[in-house]
């Protein structure tokens, strides 16, 4: 993947997969803009390596639009947008509507508005890409987190719609991971149960998402596609 003068934007890059992909893109010589909600040592580390870090809240329209204006003050072009920012909430009794609204805003409204308002920035780069980080759970839904699952399914639909709308200059694709990496406090029983859900039965780590990201950025003939990166969960 050759470097491009226009920066790549990654939302939600302060930890885990977003952080790993940000660091790898910097390793590859790309200019980078990242967003974060909470200041962490990792964000300062990215700044020291030359990334522009913008604190942003995607919980409502005002916060999303404010971020877009700040973004445009830092750059007049974008090589790619990687929509990685995400939230993970359970609908507690009495809070269902608030949780649904939060999931919709973070996973659908933010990508929708950012894509629309940043089309001109992407148009100044050749090639140009939008990549939505979805979730394999959208494939079959979730009894425990229906709002989360529905909003990720909506993001998959936005991939198709924006791919059609922005063709041929801007490619729009998605990545739908299942288990990629455990949290440090996940116990042995949970790990075993989760690994048994996939045909391959491994914890692959974030490199597989970076490999998928690179494939979509490099390939000139793929748009409107969501890559499933789930270790074969659909086979069990």
- Looking at the annotation, which residues are catalytic? 148
Strand, helix or coil at 110?
A: helix
Give the span between the Cα atoms of 106 and 152, in whole angstroms: 10
Q: Which of 229, 230, 87, 83 is nearest to 159 (CA)?
A: 83
Angle CA(226)–CA(212)–CA(141) in degrees, nearest 5? 40
Cis peptide bond prior to 228, omega within 30° of 0: no
E-strand ranges in 64-216 read: 80-83, 128-133, 170-177
164 Cβ contact partners less than 8 Å away, ≥ 6 residues apart: 224
């Amino acid at each position: 993947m050759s470097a491009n003068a226009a920066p790549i934007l990654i939302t939600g890059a302060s930890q885990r997969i977003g952080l790993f992909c940000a660091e790898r893109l910097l390793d590859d010589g790309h200019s980078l803009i990242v967003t974060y909600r909470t200041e962490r040592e990792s964000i300062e580390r990215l700044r020291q390596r030359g990334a522009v870090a913008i604190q942003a809240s995607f919980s409502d329209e005002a916060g999303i639009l404010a971020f877009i204006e700040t973004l445009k003050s830092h750059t007049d072009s974008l090589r790619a947008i990687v929509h990685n920012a995400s939230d993970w909430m359970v609908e507690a009794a009495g809070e269902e509507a608030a949780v649904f609204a939060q999931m919709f805003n973070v996973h659908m409204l933010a990508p929708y508005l950012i894509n629309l308002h940043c089309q001109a920035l992407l148009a100044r780069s050749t090639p140009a890409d939008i990549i939505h980080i979805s979730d394999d759970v959208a494939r079959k839904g979730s009894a425990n987190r229906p709002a989360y699952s529905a909003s990720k399914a909506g993001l998959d639909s936005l991939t198709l719609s924006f791919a059609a709308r922005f063709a041929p200059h801007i490619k729009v694709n998605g990545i739908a991971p299942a288990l990629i990496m455990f949290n440090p406090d996940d116990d042995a029983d949970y790990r075993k149960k989760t690994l048994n859900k996939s045909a391959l039965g491994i914890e692959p780590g974030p490199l597989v998402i970076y490999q998928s990201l690179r494939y979509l950025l490099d390939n000139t003939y793929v748009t409107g596609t969501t890559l499933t990166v789930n270790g074969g969960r659909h086979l069990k």
